[in-house]
Amino acid sequence: MLTRTAAPGPWTLHVETAAADADGAVLAQLPVPATVPGTVHTDLLAAGLIEDPYLDRNELLTPWIGRSGWRYQATLPATTPAERTDLVLDGLDTLATVLVDGVERLRTRNMFRSYRVPLDSADAADVAVVLDSPWGPFDALDDEARRAFDSPSAHIRKMACNFGWDWGPTLVTAGIWRPVRIESWSVARLAETRVEVHAEQGAAGWRGLVEVGVELERTATAHDAELVVRVGGATRSVVVPAAETSARLAVEVPIGHDDLWWPRGSGAQPLHDVEVRLLDRVTGEALDADDRRVGFRSVEVSREADADGESFAFVVNGRPVAALGFNWIPDDCFPHRVTHDDVAARLRDAAEANANILRVWGGGLYESDDFYAQCDELGFLVWQDFAFACAPYPEHEWMLEEVAAEARENVVRLMSHPSLAIWNGNNENWLGWDDWGWKERLGDRPWGERYYLEVLPQVVAEVSPHAFYWPGSPYSGTPEVYSNDRSRGVVHLWDGWNEQGYQVFLEDRARFVSEFGWQGPPAWRTLTDAVHDDPLRPDSEGVLHHQKAVDGSLKLSRGLAPYFDEPPDMADWHWAMQLNQARALTFAIEHFRSLRPLNMGSIVWQLNDCWPVASWAVVDSAGRRRPAWFAVRAAFAPRLATIQPRAGGLAIVLVNDAGEAWSGSATVRRLGLDGRVLAEQAVTFDVGSVASETVALGPDLAQPGDPAAELLVAEVDGAARAWRYFTVDRDLAYPRPRLDVVTKPLPGGDVEVAVTSDTFVRDLTLHADRLDAGAAASDALVTLLPGESVTLRVSGADPARAEAVAAAVRGEAPVVRHAGDLVG
């Protein structure tokens, strides 16, 4: 049987070629112990040779690391003798030369592939991995090529955001970023295992199909082999003659409706074991194995022409699914540090926000096996980008070959996951061609279209024929139509953030929005743990350094200006910008959902951060949920009531994305801020699954007597309250609430916080991280009418500090906030 042995080292890190501006004091202390998997930056950090680049402006001290060459060295232990012994490297970052006992055995130029080096024996061996600077391919270009293809990431198959992004630092890494092991085997091994699982519905009901294809690698003495596949109680086998290295077989599994895998919110996620075994047919010995956890489902994307253009909607097991979710970026600039628990925490954030889809963005990574396995278990659909983003890519023959190999390996690796719903060619490259001046700059030079229209779809069709491929995000369905056409395909909506404010979302009737968002600062504790400016101000050096968007601070201010005066106080500025991010996302999501079924997807940019930064994330790099997370949770509720402008006035829109019909009644009232009922309308509704119903409101509700002193509120069977205001915060006559705050420490260290307001109070939020680094509140952005109460739970604080936390909630620190704090 093939045996796998981790290559434990110890590993050491050496400099190979020092950049001209390298830190001599650091170089003088090399070599240092190295961690595998790992990267140069984290090895130097662990050795105490550099400051943490996530803190203050320390990032600016590190560029020389990415421009230097490095060497990892280790002595690999002897292993059990076998016919073949291989060194397997799951991920090298990126321009690597592998030497065994001083002899070059491999050169690589792709972060996204794994590699196998045959060893001469099972004896101990000295291994060196020499890593050239990732800047090398870009630095080697002549001036004309550099002007045409001006993104360093376009010339190397490496995580693009390593070179900096509008939410991430420039930390150009090198290292052995995924595990290294030794594999020993005889006769034959499974060189590639393709498992594609789907469900088909016929006249007699559902049936499950498991299709397995394998590629074998044999030794010179290989016998006939027998391939065995087991799915539950079903077993099939096929003999692979000695001259053959490929085999295919299919297993049909009887399944019922209860055996189908569904996206979260639409049904359950039953998973089944698929066992692939390779046997020596002569001796009966087990040679290799590859086991998977799979789910039976069908996933299609419906594209139907209609009066508004062309639909774009996920259909799972024959049922339309409204996609609500987040874009996912690498969870750390140094991905080897991301653990199972880290992934679980972020996916829990997405799940508890009522999301059912995650888009793995093309400027990052093909994520770990563990990420997709957890998505399977939790019921997330995964939109998987290929690794292209925001740049024209040259179409060199070597890169075409690399991309084909990279695509094949990752499609093979991920195709068995029921969560995987779509393969997407790139992020914003069609948009760059249409809108960013690439046509003029590049002339007749190839810019990457061949990857998206030929190489990638051909790989997907060959390897995983039941999978859905889409050439880009955004993309309209054909290069002949503008890529960001609102009437078809998928769109990115950034006019609001970049130029016009979030009110502009009302003008968009997009069919599927795969990117939109609004920026805000991280939690107060996350910011102050990373930035130590004194005084701390919105424009202090460290705060500005942790704002990577072009004119990001200006855009934050411009986006706030229609609603609030910009506060001069840092604490108020922080709260105002967090609140405005939450407001923008609520506004956009409720609008898009109110168009159901015209619009069938809203994917927020973004779920997570990779370092402490002002960004579009709803969960910051320390795992703290911003107020925007609570806003999205409410806006993504399976059943939503929202009051929207419609021709001639206002309407209440009931949106039902649940699997069952929704009927009931609602009462819409126009109230004074003092709670007096000024007008009222009763509404009944009956909304089908994944649909909406719009009910016009009468003029006595839609037309206020005093816009500054009135609001609309809808009480709805089966949904949260819907609110609407007749003017912006600056002009609202916010009363000054007297908040009665009662705290009660609970067993285990949690604290119950009951807040009662004598007046109307809007967007009440408890910033628990100001009290204790681990503390978090159970809710935020709570709006109360006069005399109403809310009870929050603060959890995660040090249990020994429960009494202190309870006291601090009632203290003078800016912990309990509301929108009225920012007015007057």
Among 706, 731, 756, identify where a domain stops: 731
210 and 350 share one domain: no
Rounded mean pLDDT, 275-281:
90
Q: Are 325 and 359 in contact (CB under 8 A)?
A: yes
Q: Assign 461 a pLDDT band (cuts: 50, 70, 90).
A: very high
Q: Assign 8 a pLDDT band (cuts: 50, 70, 90).
A: confident
Geometric angle at alpha carbon 482, from 477 and 487, rounded to 5°:
65
Q: Are 805 and 772 in contact (CB under 8 A)?
A: yes
What is the token pair recorded at 356?
Answer: 């059912």
pLDDT tens sequence across 350-380? 999 999 999 999 999 999 999 999 999 999 9
558 and 630 share one domain: yes
One-letter identity of residue 644: Q
The C-alpha atoms of residue 446 and residue 655 are separated, in whole angstroms, by 45
Mean pLDDT of the chain: 95
Q: Are 26 and 140 in contact (CB under 8 A)?
A: no
The C-alpha atoms of residue 26 and residue 234 are separated, in whole angstroms, by 60
Among 714, 731, 748, identify where a domain stops: 731
Please give the pLDDT value at position 220: 83
Please give the pLDDT value at position 244: 87
- In sequence order, what are the beta bridge partners of 644? 651
Q: What are φ and ψ of residue 423, in 5° steps?
A: -105, 130
Task: Tell whether omega for the bond before 10 is within 30 degrees of 0, i.e. cis.
Answer: yes
Furthest C-alpha separation in the chain: 91
Q: Residue 177 belongs to a domain with what CATH number? A: 2.60.120.260
Residues 6+ away with beta carbon under 8 Å from 747: none
What is the token pair recorded at 714?
Answer: 């809808």
Residues 6+ away with beta carbon under 8 Å from 153: 159, 160, 162, 163, 363, 389, 391
Report the relative pairing of strands 95-100 and 32-34 from DSSP bridges.
Answer: unpaired
134 and 198 share one domain: no
pLDDT tens sequence across 761-802? 999 999 999 989 999 999 999 999 999 999 999 999 888 777
Number of domains comprising the chain: 5
3-class secondary-structure state, position 340: helix
Which residue, among 1, 229, 2, 279, has the nearest Cα to 116 in the 3D structure?
A: 2
| Percent of the chain whose predicted confidence (pLDDT) is above 90 | 89
Residue at token pair 């499950």: 208
Please give the pLDDT value at position 235: 84
Residue at token pair 């600077």: 133
Please give the pLDDT value at position 549: 97
Please give the pLDDT value at position 231: 67
Q: Are 417 and 376 in contact (CB under 8 A)?
A: yes
| Percent of the chain whose predicted confidence (pLDDT) is above 70 | 99
The C-alpha atoms of residue 117 and residue 107 are separated, in whole angstroms, by 10
Whether the per-residue pLDDT at 229 is higher than 80: the answer is no
Geometric angle at alpha carbon 541, from 539 and 547, rounded to 5°:
70
Q: Are 414 and 366 in contact (CB under 8 A)?
A: yes
pLDDT tens sequence across 801-814? 777 777 777 665 68
677 and 761 share one domain: no
Q: Residue 814 belongs to a domain with what CATH number? A: 2.60.40.10
Among 294, 320, 343, identify where a domain stops: 294
C-alpha distances (whole Å) from 746 to each of 325, 700, 791, 801 are: 34, 47, 13, 12
The C-alpha atoms of residue 117 and residue 108 are separated, in whole angstroms, by 12
Q: Are 352 and 720 in contact (CB under 8 A)?
A: no
More confident residue, 76 or 227: 76
Q: Residue 361 belongs to a domain with what CATH number? A: 3.20.20.80
> How many Cβ atoms sit within 10 Å of the Cβ of residue 401?
11
Which domain covers residue 338, as residue numbers? 299-635
Whether the per-residue pLDDT at 223 is higher than 90: the answer is no
Q: Are 781 and 695 in contact (CB under 8 A)?
A: no
Residue at token pair 């050239």: 132
- In sequence order, what are the beta bridge partners of 108? 96
The C-alpha atoms of residue 598 and residue 575 are separated, in whole angstroms, by 35
The C-alpha atoms of residue 458 and residue 451 are separated, in whole angstroms, by 10
What is the token pair recorded at 698?
Answer: 């009468």
3-class secondary-structure state, position 804: helix
Which residue, among 296, 294, 290, has the nearest Cα to 227 in the 3D structure?
A: 290
Which residue, among 141, 154, 173, 189, has the nearest Cα to 53 in the 3D structure?
A: 173
The C-alpha atoms of residue 124 and residue 102 are separated, in whole angstroms, by 13
The DSSP H or E segment spanning 787 is: none
pLDDT tens sequence across 570-627? 999 999 999 999 999 999 999 999 999 999 999 999 999 999 999 999 999 999 999 9
711 and 761 share one domain: no
Report the relative pairing of strands 357-360 and 776-777 from DSSP bridges.
Answer: unpaired
528 and 407 share one domain: yes
Residues 6+ away with beta carbon under 8 Å from 322: 313, 593, 596, 597, 600, 601, 657, 690
Residue at token pair 């609309």: 712
Rounded mean pLDDT, 678-704:
97
C-alpha distances (whole Å) from 621 to each of 57, 436, 575, 579, 629 are: 17, 31, 18, 19, 13
Which residue, among 467, 344, 338, 335, has the nearest Cα to 412 in the 3D structure?
A: 467
Please give the pLDDT value at position 243: 81
526 and 399 share one domain: yes
More confident residue, 8 or 232: 8
The C-alpha atoms of residue 313 and residue 765 are separated, in whole angstroms, by 36
The C-alpha atoms of residue 614 and residue 620 are separated, in whole angstroms, by 9
Please give the pLDDT value at position 813: 64
More confident residue, 238 or 352: 352
177 and 194 share one domain: no
What is the token pair recorded at 697?
Answer: 């409101």
426 and 509 share one domain: yes
175 and 161 share one domain: yes
What beta strand segments (E) does 101-162 contain? 103-109, 115-119, 125-131
Torsion angle (degrees, nearest 10) of CA 494, 499, 501, 502: -10
Which residue, among 766, 769, 764, 762, has the nearest Cα to 753 in the 3D structure?
A: 766
Task: Tell whether omega for the bond before 12 is within 30 degrees of 0, i.e. cis.
Answer: no
- In sequence order, what are the beta bridge partners of 241? none
The C-alpha atoms of residue 490 and residue 472 are separated, in whole angstroms, by 9
pLDDT tens sequence across 110-125? 999 999 999 988 898 9
139 and 214 share one domain: no
pLDDT tens sequence across 124-173? 899 999 999 999 999 999 999 999 999 999 999 999 999 999 999 999 99
What is the token pair recorded at 623?
Answer: 């795992």
Please give the pLDDT value at position 810: 66
Residues in the chain: 824
611 and 670 share one domain: no
> How many Cβ atoms sit within 10 Å of the Cβ of residue 338?
19
The C-alpha atoms of residue 32 and residue 38 are separated, in whole angstroms, by 13
Please give the pLDDT value at position 802: 73
Which residue, among 635, 810, 627, has the nearest Cα to 722 in the 3D structure?
A: 635
Rounded mean pLDDT, 394-414:
98
One-letter identity of residue 147: R
3-class secondary-structure state, position 814: coil
DSSP per-residue codes, 376-426: HHHT-EEEEE-S-BSS-----HHHHHHHHHHHHHHHHHHTT-TTEEEEE--
Which residue, among 502, 378, 505, 404, has the nearest Cα to 460 in the 3D structure?
A: 404
pLDDT tens sequence across 504-516? 999 999 999 999 9
Whether the per-residue pLDDT at 232 is higher than 70: the answer is no
Residue at token pair 């559902």: 206
